[in-house]
Amino acid sequence: MLVALVICARHKIEPMTRFWTDTVNRLTPYVPGEQRAGGDITKLNTNENPYPPSPDVMEAIRRVNGDQLRRYPDPESVELRSALASYHGVGLDNVFVGNGSDEILALAFLAYFTDGRALQYPDITYSFYPVYCDLYGIEPKTIALEADYSLSLERFLPNEGSIIFPNPNAPTAVATSFEDVKSLLDRHTEQVMLVDEAYADFGATSVIPLVHEYPNLLVSQTFSKGRSLAGLRLGVAFGDAALIDGLQRVKNSFNSYPVDALAQAAGIASIADDAYYRTTTQTIIDTREWTVSELTNRGFEVLPSAANFVFAKAPAGAAGHLFTRLSEAGVLVRYWDKPALSQWLRISIGTPGDMQRLIACIDA
């Protein structure tokens, strides 16, 4: 081992990398927020829901029996997709489910964006998009946000490469209107437009009703945020039947069973217990508004949020310092030491008690 390390050091290559392909050698993988275990931690760094899934979901998971686990799950997740189709007023063939919406994005990038043209997305956005571009060799074309960090869809070049953006955007939390998305779809007709609605439960208007009108529109959503199931890994996409069929082809060339039996049972129960999620979502929105006003009173600039997190510019350039001190005090938030972001903190909305602790720590 020591000899190998010495040889590696002499030849200036990292241990192990000589067996990797060029693609893997040049990857810069996505770095998720810290999952610190144990201790007295207030975790506001990965936009998880502070409330548990509905009791009906827990019961549905408990009811899954040994036979269901012994066998492979339904590869097409028909019952779950039917529940989602009725809930959103679309057909079964307009619905695709996957192992978290990150997996759906990975499949969609391969299905629609590897056509040799550039992929357009905002210059400040979900940092998984450049990672997938890297992985698949897709050329990114970034679209600048406005001075107030809003996303003007006018800046996208219609039909000059596919388009992806989150609505609301991440990490800014700023939403784009239904009318603006529709208007871009009227102009952008020749390539796919993927609207990533991971946080749509907290204020933005979903464009799922438009999938029948625009055959190039794909909308992705997740059970991780509004439905408190980040640990289960369940995502969903809606689109024209032909678009969904493209995703199915890629899925079935990669992993036929991405949604396990537990996730299918829990997803169905979650859709059925909508009242529970409307209540927890409203509580999070109320807590968000309280947090925004407390941060604003302390000199933070907080962007208008339609998500379960806020993007807040710390007073006097103190974001990096605050991030470190909060982390030492057991309050985890997200910070990127990158040019356009280094003055900002992304803070997930927890329970009222979590947010009171955050504010008390900031004061301290």
Ligand X SMILES: Cc1ncc(COP(=O)(O)O)c(C=O)c1O
Q: Does 222 bind ligand X (CB under 6 A)?
A: yes
Q: Which is nearer to ligand X, 269 or 307 (CB)?
A: 307
Question: Which residues in the 106-165 window bind ligand X by CB under 6 A?
Answer: 126
Among residues 264, 96, 126, 112, the alpha carbon closest in space to that of 193 is found at: 112
Contact 227, 97 (CB under 8 A): no
Q: Which is nearer to ligand X, 172 or 287 (CB)?
A: 172
* Contacts for 111 with CB less than 8 Å, ≥ 6 apart: 246, 247, 249, 250
Query: Least CB distance from residue 245 to ligand X, whole Å?
Result: 22
Helical ranges in 17-65 per DSSP H:
22-26, 55-63
DSSP states of 153-176: GGGS-TTSS-EEEESS-TTT----
* Window of 12-20, 109-117, 222-230, 275-283 that interacts with ligand X by CB under 6 A: 222-230
Interacting residue with ligand X among 100, 161, 246, 350 (CB under 6 A): 100
Contact 82, 221 (CB under 8 A): no
Question: Which residues in the 30-59 window bind ligand X by CB under 6 A?
Answer: 47
Query: Least CB distance from residue 311 to ligand X, whole Å?
Result: 12
Q: Which is nearer to ligand X, 153 or 362 (CB)?
A: 153
Query: Least CB distance from residue 102 to ligand X, whole Å?
Result: 3
Q: Which is nearer to ligand X, 42 or 101 (CB)?
A: 101
Contact 305, 281 (CB under 8 A): no
Question: Which residues in the 180-219 window bind ligand X by CB under 6 A?
Answer: 196, 198
Interacting residue with ligand X among 84, 119, 164, 170 (CB under 6 A): 170
* DSSP assigned state of 89: T
Interacting residue with ligand X among 64, 85, 92, 230 (CB under 6 A): 230
Among residues 247, 255, 175, the alpha carbon closest in space to that of 211 is found at: 247
**Amino acid identity, residue 246?**
G
Name the 3-class secondary structure at 351.
coil
- Binding interface with ligand X (CB under 6 A): 47, 100-102, 126, 166, 170, 196, 198, 222, 224, 230, 235
